[in-house]
Amino acid sequence: MVGKFIGVGVGPGDPELITLKAAKVLQTADIICIPKTNVDKPSLAVTMIQQVLAERTVKPEMLELIFPMTKDDISNQELWDKNANIIAQKVSNGKTVVFITIGDPMFYSTFIYLYQSLRNGHSDIALEIIPGISAFNACATSARIPLAEKDELITVIPSDLDEKLVEEVAKHSENLVFIKCAYRLKELIPVLKRSGFKENNTIALVRRCSMPNETVTVGKLCDALNWDIREDYFTIAIVKKNSFIDNSKGDV
């Protein structure tokens, strides 16, 4: 029996946003890998697939894999390789192993590093990747503002990008998406203004998109200085040079 490793994106938070293909795989997999930053911290990705798992008559093995969020490249690589070896052994025993990840597997995901370790050390195993809805796409929908129109440029900026680089790339884009950005948003507003963005440009701040406690705030760039912004890993901001606010249904 030939095993297989499958990376599965389970979307931004709402279990109903899991794709049909992802759900099908989750219903038949022998083993589901659960990425966690530490042993005691619960996995959000697991809560998103509970409904799918509840429909199974035969429960899968739930394999927790620890991926601490550090910048120690050497220690991280050792851990990627260790987890890759664990998965490769399961696959070699004929098991279908699914690794779940929030959003999309190939967009700022833990899965990417695990995938690279498997490809480098176990290139013979069968592998498949199933895409998921990325959080920034879902955020644009929740805020009811387009990410890009016609020939507009869109730039995705990670939260720890250097201010000078943010300023430079912002000069050449009409739409900016800041991921994991809440703790820096206010300090970046002057940077954006130096890059050509105006005080009346549209900004949307979406926290915990598509989850039960989702909050969406849409306004002008100058308004954000007065917003109560709390640090939250699951927060995304979208800023548009071409102002766009949907008032068709009042407050978002």
Q: Running DSSP on this structure, what letter comes out for residue 43? A: P
pLDDT at 22: 98
Kindly give, in sequence order, each residue whose CB lies less than 8 Å from that of residue 70, ignoring residues fewer than 6 positions away. 76
- Give, for 236, the enclosing helix (H) or strand (E): strand 235-240
CA quadruple 24, 26, 31, 35: dihedral positive or negative? positive
Distance CA 30, CA 19 (A): 19
- Structure tokens, 224: 């954000």
Q: Is the pTM of this model over 0.75?
A: yes
Class of 4-130 in CATH:
alpha beta
Distance CA 30, CA 40 (A): 24
Distance CA 92, CA 182 (A): 43
| Residue ranges of the chain that CATH labels 3.30.950.10 | 135-240
Per-residue pLDDT of the chain (252 residues; tens, 9 = 90+): 679 999 999 999 999 999 999 999 999 999 999 988 877 777 889 999 999 999 999 999 999 998 876 666 667 888 899 999 999 999 999 999 999 999 999 999 989 999 999 999 999 999 999 999 999 999 999 999 999 999 999 999 987 889 999 999 999 999 999 998 778 889 999 999 999 999 999 999 999 999 999 999 999 999 999 998 888 889 999 999 987 656 554 444
Say yes or no: domain 135-240 is CATH 1.10.390.10: no
Distance CA 137, CA 206 (A): 11
The one-letter code for the residue type at 67 is F
Distance CA 211, CA 13 (A): 5
| Residue ranges of the chain that CATH labels 3.40.1010.10 | 4-130
